[in-house]
Amino acid sequence: MIRFLDNTLRDGSHQNKHSFDPQQVAKVAKALDTLGIDIIEVGHGNGLGASSYQIGLSKYSDREIIEAASNNIKSAKLGVHVIPGIATYKRDIEPAIKMGVNYFRVASHCTEADLTQSIIEKIKSHNIEVWGALMMSHMATINKLKNEIL
């Protein structure tokens, strides 16, 4: 089975200084859903809870963006990106689950996969699809990546 994930409404926000507005999110999410995209990932370029002076302020809150997408998706899963330490379970992940997010991609530096385990387990306890993502994998050897995955 082939599945398609579109992260334009998340990763693409790096380009526009995290300023997709709810109307843009609604329009694009609806179009992607109509096209049959399986997972639509939304939010700040660095994921849930990332809006800050250090990383970059979002023009709109995670809540506003998630709600705009959620209200315009009928078939696709609604996804978000999570980096442990930036997003927290109580402040960011739990509210996202309550707003209908049903796909989480939990990421860490490729040599720190162990940092994702507790958050992945908590999300899985809600019977929600969750994936781990190893970022910057070009910085590790094949053996190091293999050990991180296992």
Q: Active-site residues: which are they?
A: 14
Q: Is 74 helix (H, G, I), strand (E, B) or coil?
A: coil
- Residue 143 φ then ψ, to 5°: -65, -40
* Contacting residues for 115 by C-beta, under 8 A, at least 6 apart: 84, 85, 108
How many Å apart are CA 44 and CA 64, to the nearest integer? 11
Q: Where are the alpha helices (DSSP H) in the chain?
A: 8-11, 22-35, 62-70, 94-98, 117-124, 142-149
Give the Cα separation of 150 and 130 in Å (integer): 17
Q: Both tokens of residue 47?
A: 């994921």
